[in-house]
Amino acid sequence: MSSARIVVVGTGYVGLTTGACLASLGHRVTCVDVDEAKVARLSAGRVDILEPGLAELVGRGLAARRLSFVVGAREAVATADAVFLCVPTPMGAGGSADLRAVEAVTDEIRDTVPSGCALVTKSTVPVGTARRIRALLGRADVPVVSNPEFLREGTAVADFLGPDRIVVGSDDEAAARRVADLYEQLSAPVVVTDAASAELVKYAANCFLAMKLSYVNAVAELCERLGADIEAVTEGMGHDRRIGRSFLKPGPGWGGSCLPKDTAAMVRFAEAAGYDFTMLTAAISENLAQRERVLAKIAGAVGGNLSGARVGVLGLAFKAGTDDLRDSPALAVASALFAHGAEVTAYDPAVGGELPGMIVVDDPYQVAKGADVVVLLTEWNEFRRLDWAYMAELMVGDTVVDTRNLLDPHTVLDAGLIWQGIGRPHAR
Ligand code: UGA
């Protein structure tokens, strides 16, 4: 399919990235949303998601008339070759994915989607959803295809246009191949499979990453207890090509809008299938334990009692490069500090406004002012370039807890401060 007519339903970060990138590959893309104001903003080229390269791609797509934004999927799908469902699937009751948005769109387009048009799920949906949608749609002439996305926030455009792999699955193999052809310009390996397997790839991959991180955080804890250095340990592990070098950085725990939701959902659907996925539940508990260990470390740095302690927090977003606070371990730690009676002042280059339990400032040096301890929770590069001698002058206490092992310990040390990382010997 060299130039296809594509409708993308949902203009969140997955939908908008998918729409803008498919348009950049030469397809004619209509993006649909229920939010009229958002559609108007996007039609004028205004992108309110912090995602490098996305606004430019949207602008180019609009200018080339290959990309448009409309309200309402019903009419939009009438001439489509493929309809991509990119609506939210939040964590519903008891950890299972809430599919109401997917079901609502299916209802809306039932009578207007043309024969032979592929209905593609991009959203992370539980295994069996493609079959469920097919049954709900009740149209044997409309194949349902699962095409999970593997985009990371902050690098979504680059991930879309330079993917490690493309996965498409359908019980109608020809339809799966047609969807794979939409990406033919991208030289990535393509896995064509059945719908259930494609749906499972997404969970299996995200949950593997979560387990990898929990494992690294647990090994980092062991490093502290045994006097080893996690940086050296993970470097030594990472050269093994079977393990790989990425996703080996310890931190305050994993978070964001995907890994917590997907791990909970996988435990849930495994349980429904009669399998107790203890390996995954252990990874989830380990992630919570990591936050507690970080809190204990901060408490230790102020003499054991957080009540009344003044804590300066650097970073609130769940990772660098995004303003996303959803399931952010940084935010969870900052909130827990407040719950333990600490006075929290926080700075994040991408986060402003008011947050409960803390004062959010717009200058990193303000977090150091009068602080008993400074805690780095998100790995923003700009924190490396802070004037640590000035930070030390402003602080009352003498310890920096660097939960991302981001800073050069010697820089902090030279400023007359104590540096405490994760899984590394303290520098004092
Ligand atoms: C994740 C996956 O990486 C994507 O492949 C997937 O498409 C996406 O979820 C999704 O399902 O939509 P994302 O949530 O954007 O992407 O974030 P990641 O970059 O994967 O980071 C997840 C968490 O792990 C963050 O809290 C991050 O700080 C943490 N992390 C990551 C570490 O603590 N150490 C590392 O070495 C890497």
pLDDT reported for residue 44: 97
ipTM above 0.90, yes or no: yes
pLDDT at 50: 83
* Domain finish residue from 133, 163, 193: 193
For residue 330, the CA-to-ligand 1 centroid distance in Å is: 14
Same-domain status, 177 and 36: yes
Strand partners, 120: 84, 145
Give the model's confidence band at 90: pLDDT under 50 very low, under 70 low, under 90 confident, else very high.
confident
Domain-embedded: residue 315: yes
DSSP collapsed to 3 states, 392-409: HHHCCCCEEEECCCCCCH
DSSP state of 326: T
Looking at residue 342, its amino acid is A
Which among 21, 209, 248, 288 is the best mutation to test ligand 1's pocket, defined by most ligand atoms within 8 Å of the CB?
Answer: 209
Shortest CA distance to 391 belongs to which of 410, 366, 409, 408? 366
Instruction: Tell me the average pLDDT across 47-62.
Output: 94
- Cβ proximity of 168 and 194 under 8 Å: no
In a shared domain, residues 55 and 169: yes
Could you say which of 162, 193, 224 is where a domain stops? Answer: 193
Q: Does residue 172 register a pLDDT over 60?
A: yes
- Give me the residue label for tokens 């400032």: 361
Please tell me whether 11 is known to bind a ligand.
Answer: no
Q: Tell how many helices (H) and how many strands (E) occur in the chain.
A: 16, 14
Let me know whether 164 and 36 are in one domain: yes
160 is in an annotated binding site: no
Ligand 1 neighbourhood includes 214 CB (under 6 angstroms): no
Residue 71 lies in a domain: yes
Tens digit of pLDDT for each residue in 297-337?
999 999 999 999 999 999 999 999 999 999 999 999 999 99
Question: CA–CA separation, 381 vs 236, rounded Å?
Answer: 24
Q: How far is the CA of 87 from the centre of ligand 1 (A)?
A: 20
pLDDT tens, position by position, 205-261: 999 999 999 999 999 999 999 999 999 999 999 999 999 999 999 999 999 989 999
- Residue range 35-49: mean pLDDT, rounded: 96
The per-residue pLDDT for range 360-383, each reduced to its tens digit, is: 999 999 999 999 999 999 999 999
Residue nearest to atom 13 of ligand 1 (CA): 152
Question: Residue 249 CA: which ligand 1 atom is closest?
Answer: 36
1 has pLDDT over 90: no
Residue 261 included in any domain: no
Ligand 1 contacts CB of residue 152 (under 6 A): yes
303 shares a domain with 164: no
Residue position matching structure tokens 């209802």: 107
CATH number of the domain to which 42 belongs: 3.40.50.720
Looking at the structure, do residues 186 and 318 belong to the same domain, yes or no? Answer: no
Cα 256 to middle of ligand 1, angstroms: 7
**Whose C-alpha lies nearest to ligand 1, atom 19?**
152
User: How many whole angstroms from 340 Cα to the centroid of ligand 1?
Assistant: 28
Does ligand 1 lie within 6 Å of residue 151's CB atom? yes
Given the residues 31, 86, 117, 258, select the one marked as catalytic. Answer: 258
- Is pLDDT above 80 for 156? yes
Our mutation pick for probing the ligand 1 site, out of 212, 258, 326, 333, counting the most ligand atoms within 8 A of Cβ, is: 258
pLDDT at position 95 is 65
Q: Give pLDDT, residue 125.
A: 85
Q: Active site includes 117? A: no
Is 249 one of the annotated binding-site residues? yes
pLDDT at 124: 82
Pair (186, 293) in one structural domain: no
297 is in an annotated binding site: no
157 and 289, same domain (yes or no): no
- Residue 426: what pLDDT? 78
* Ligand 1 pocket residue status of 326, Cβ below 6 Å: no
Residue from 288, 385, 392, 294 nearest 337 by CA: 294
Question: Residue 287: its pLDDT value, please?
Answer: 98
Confidence band, pLDDT 50/70/90 cuts, at residue 387: very high
Q: Is 134 annotated as a binding residue?
A: no
Averaged confidence pLDDT in the chain: 95
In this structure, the answer to whether residues 299 and 172 fall within a common structural domain is no
Structural domain ending residue among the three candidates 193, 220, 253: 193
Cα of 206 from ligand 1 centre, angstroms: 8
* Pocket of ligand 1 contains residue 318 by CB under 6 Å: yes
pLDDT surpasses 60 at 188:
yes
Average pLDDT over residues 27-32: 98
Average of per-residue pLDDT across 186-191: 95
**291 close to ligand 1 (CB < 6 Angstrom):** no
Could you write out the DSSP letters of every residue in 240-270? STTT-SSS----S---TTTHHHHHHHHHHHH
Percent of the chain with pLDDT over 70: 99
pLDDT of residue 91: 73
Task: Provide the pLDDT for residue 170.
Answer: 97
pLDDT of residue 243: 97
Stretch 69-81: mean pLDDT:
97
269-307: pLDDT as tens digits: 899 999 999 999 999 999 999 999 999 999 999 999 999
Q: How many domains does the chain have?
A: 2
Give domain status of residue 249, yes or no.
no
Does residue 39 sit in the same domain as residue 169? yes
Rg (CA), the chain: 24
Pocket lining: 254 vs ligand 1, CB cutoff 6 Å: yes
The boundaries of the domain holding residue 64 are: 5-193
pTM of the model: 0.93
pLDDT at 427: 72
Give the residue among 149, 131, 151 at the shortest CA–CA distance from 194. Answer: 131
Counting from 1 in the atom list of ligand 1, the atom nearest the Cα of 257 is: 14
What pLDDT band is residue 2 in, cutting at 50, 70 and 90?
confident
395 in a domain, yes or no?
yes
Would you say residue 233 lies in a domain? no
Using the mean position of ligand 1's atoms as its centre, give its distance from the Cα of residue 255 in Å.
Answer: 7
Answer yes or no: is 141 within a domain. yes
222 within domain boundaries? no
